[in-house]
Amino acid sequence: MAKKKVRPKLRPKDYKSAVKPTWCPGCGDYGVLASLYQAMARLELDPANTLVVSGIGCSSRLPFFVRTYGFQTAHGRVLPVAIGAKIANPELTVIAVGGDGDGFSIGGGHLAHAVRRNPDITYVVMDNEVYGLTKGQTSPTSPLGFQTKSTPYGSSDAPINPMAWVLASGVSFAARGFSGNPKHVTDLIIEGIQHPGFAFVQTMSPCPTFNNTFDLWRDNIEDLPAGYEPNDRMQALTQAFRDDAIPVGLLYKELRPTLESHTRVAHHPLKSDTPDFDVRALLEIYR
């Protein structure tokens, strides 16, 4: 009898592509990339069945450095492309990546709708509160008074709060980590990928070249309070709005029907034997 082929176990370095990262020395995105390699290895993701999608920006270069399928889309369009790929092939592990400018400014209109549709994808945002690729302008998360070449007298725009935004939009998984603690980020990415639904993982990932927040954030990062249970949206919002610290960890998680469960309908061109969609039956399953 022919022996069953066993896929050799992959190590983190096996997920590295031949393209070396081109980020500045000390960029926080290195920590997030290392976390992603670790997470992929621990989950034993099959590179041939994994897609990493990005938009435009420093962090959006990330798919080049990963040995899976990759797609760098137009600026701000990471989520529609990632969702389209997942609908076309629900078996694919889809990881969307990008920065605060790409995701919350030009791509901001997609965020709330991606969140509420709950596709089973993971969105890892590397938030450095600045536009790095274009040499340091204020981004949607830059603090008030932030001085850059584009705002020489300080930014007068209040920053958005991405965590509160996704929580208010109905996100089913929301976590935050710090790229200075890659082991923790690895755990959060793993939980995000395992979560059946849209997983938002905000990583505080400093840009030492244009907004070096490493020391500031290291001093302000704080674990969620002891005994915190990530099942209360209002409690998660309270954590998201804290201004005395940057709480990290899993803020919120719930199970509800995914977009794919809605789209696995009869007449699917690739899966004609799948059952008709019935939202009431689905809600019963998740109850």
Task: Give residue 44's region: left, alpha or beta (phi > 0; psi -120 to 50).
Answer: left
User: Which stretch, 108-116, 131-139, 147-155, 219-227, contacts Mg ion (CB under 5 A)?
Assistant: 131-139
CA 4 to chain CA mean position, Å: 36
Identity at 96, one-letter amino acid code: A
Q: Where are the beta strands (DSSP E) in 129-245?
A: 173-178, 199-204, 221-223
- Shortest distance, CB of residue 181 to ligand SF4, whole angstroms? 18
Residue 23 binds to ligand SF4 (criterion: CB under 6 A): yes
Q: Check if the beta carbon of residue 115 is closer than 8 Å to that of residue 195.
A: no
User: Which stretch, 192-200, 203-211, 226-234, 275-283, contacts ligand SF4 (CB under 6 A)?
Assistant: 203-211
Closest CB to ligand SF4 among residues 146, 210: 210
Residue given tokens 């022996």 in the structure block: 3
Q: Where are the beta strands (DSSP E) in the chain?
A: 50-54, 69-72, 93-99, 122-127, 173-178, 199-204, 221-223, 246-253
Residue 210 site contact among Mg ion, ligand SF4, none (CB < 5 to 8 Å, cut-off depends on kind)? ligand SF4
Report the alpha-carbon angle 230-181-235, nearest 5: 20
Closest CB to ligand SF4 among residues 68, 205: 205
Measured CA to CA, the distance from residue 93 to residue 78 in angstroms comes to 15
Structure tokens at 53: 């999608």
List, in sequence order, the alpha helices (H) in 106-202. 108-117, 162-168, 182-194
Residue 132 binds to ligand SF4 (criterion: CB under 6 A): yes
User: Which residue in 73, 93, 118, 128 binds Mg ion (CB under 5 A)?
Assistant: 128
User: Which stretch, 101-109, 166-174, 231-239, 251-259, contacts Mg ion (CB under 5 A)?
Assistant: 101-109
Residue 187 binds to ligand SF4 (criterion: CB under 6 A): no
Looking only at the bridges linking them, the beta strands covering 173-178 and 246-253 are antiparallel
Report how far apart, in Å, the C-alpha atoms of 13 and of each of 16, 49, 100, 273, 280 are: 5, 18, 27, 39, 44
Residue 260 site contact among Mg ion, ligand SF4, none (CB < 5 to 8 Å, cut-off depends on kind)? none
Residue 100 site contact among Mg ion, ligand SF4, none (CB < 5 to 8 Å, cut-off depends on kind)? Mg ion
Closest CB to ligand SF4 among residues 129, 187: 129
User: Which residue in 17, 209, 235, 274 binds ligand SF4 (CB under 6 A)?
Assistant: 209
User: Which residue in 35, 68, 128, 172 binds ligand SF4 (CB under 6 A)?
Assistant: 128
- Shortest distance, CB of residue 176 to Mg ion, whole angstroms? 16
User: Which residue in 100, 120, 187, 260 binds Mg ion (CB under 5 A)?
Assistant: 100
Query: What is the binding site for Mg ion (CB under 5 A)?
Result: 99-101, 128, 139
Query: What is the binding site for ligand SF4 (CB under 6 A)?
Result: 23-24, 27, 29, 58, 128, 132-133, 207-210
